[in-house]
Amino acid sequence: MHIALSADAFTAMTDVEPDAVQLGRSWGTASHAFAPSPDLLGLVAPQHIDDWLDCSLLRHPFFAVSLKGSPVPAHETTSPRTVAGQTQVGYIDGAKVRTMIHAGASLKINNLEEWHAPAQRFCRRLSTALSAHVRAVVFTTPADHWGLDVHRDNAHVFVVQVAGTKEWHLYDVPKDDNAWRDGVAQDLNGPGERFVLKPGQALYMPPGQAHRARALKEESVHVSLAVREPRVHETIALVVRQYLAGIPEHRSLSGDQAQRALQVRAALDATADRLRDLDSYEVLKAVERAGYGNR
């Protein structure tokens, strides 16, 4: 279930007031193409990609290359480096990666919020505005190639086109959380919507909306921000874990079946009472602390 948000939550994403209002209304329910703010658009420039390929400490799996939907083994895109007499493997090899991209492979650079300062600042700001975990990745896709197969992501996704042009095919937004999983999507009708994103344009997709994208005439670079709100599942798991910590592991059910069943009943009732008495705001604070502070 998703509930509309105020436009204030999206001031980092766009300077265009009607876009901020529409993002709030569309939250979790519908896609929306919008004009990104300069901060969002400036997170990654094409020059960054070249610099990371040729002059960085980027190491697998902070980047990954895939060809025709299958991961390329790390040793085909990396080289070892020797520092102070110690040899470490897995560092990005720009020449090897470029060769793969020319052969039709896509490059994904992961977790920018952990090591690219502009992305970290922006993701922290967005994380505070939306009370959610925010992760940033960059995709490079060669001209006239599709990225991933049609799939669903278990997060709100914002994509920002940095270079080249990409055509997005968007399918259904699931109405029922029980009716979808993240990953490859099947039984699709559509696509229902198509967006062509040029450099400087952005698109929001709600969790679960099936999609795929294709680079048009030039190599495409886009940034993708995945926003994950706290989950009901992890909230209940946290509460139950905390409750279980107060029950000694060696406490047993004892006696015959009838006596044990009575003890089960008493334990279930005690659990229900304890959970009912919890302060929901305290639980929310605990799950936010545990789950999605950007590190």
Beta carbon of residue 189, minimum distance to Fe ion (angstroms, whole number): 19
Q: Which is nearer to Fe ion, 153 or 219 (CB)?
A: 153
Beta carbon of residue 30, minimum distance to Fe ion (angstroms, whole number): 16
- Under a CB-based contact definition with an 8 Å cutoff, are residues 166 and 214 in contact? yes
Beta carbon of residue 157, minimum distance to Fe ion (angstroms, whole number): 6
Q: Which is nearer to Fe ion, 18 or 183 (CB)?
A: 183
Beta carbon of residue 292, minimum distance to Fe ion (angstroms, whole number): 19
Q: Which is nearer to Fe ion, 153 or 229 (CB)?
A: 153
Which amino acid is located at 209 in the chain?
Q
Q: Which is nearer to Fe ion, 147 or 230 (CB)?
A: 147
Beta carbon of residue 128, minimum distance to Fe ion (angstroms, whole number): 24
Q: Which is nearer to Fe ion, 56 or 154 (CB)?
A: 154
Beta carbon of residue 222, minimum distance to Fe ion (angstroms, whole number): 11
Residues that bind Fe ion (CB under 5 A): 153
Beta carbon of residue 240, minimum distance to Fe ion (angstroms, whole number): 31
How many other CB atoms sit within 10 Å of the CB of residue 157?
A: 18
Nearest to Fe ion by Cβ — which residue?
153
Q: Which is nearer to Fe ion, 134 or 238 (CB)?
A: 134
Q: Which is nearer to Fe ion, 31 or 78 (CB)?
A: 31
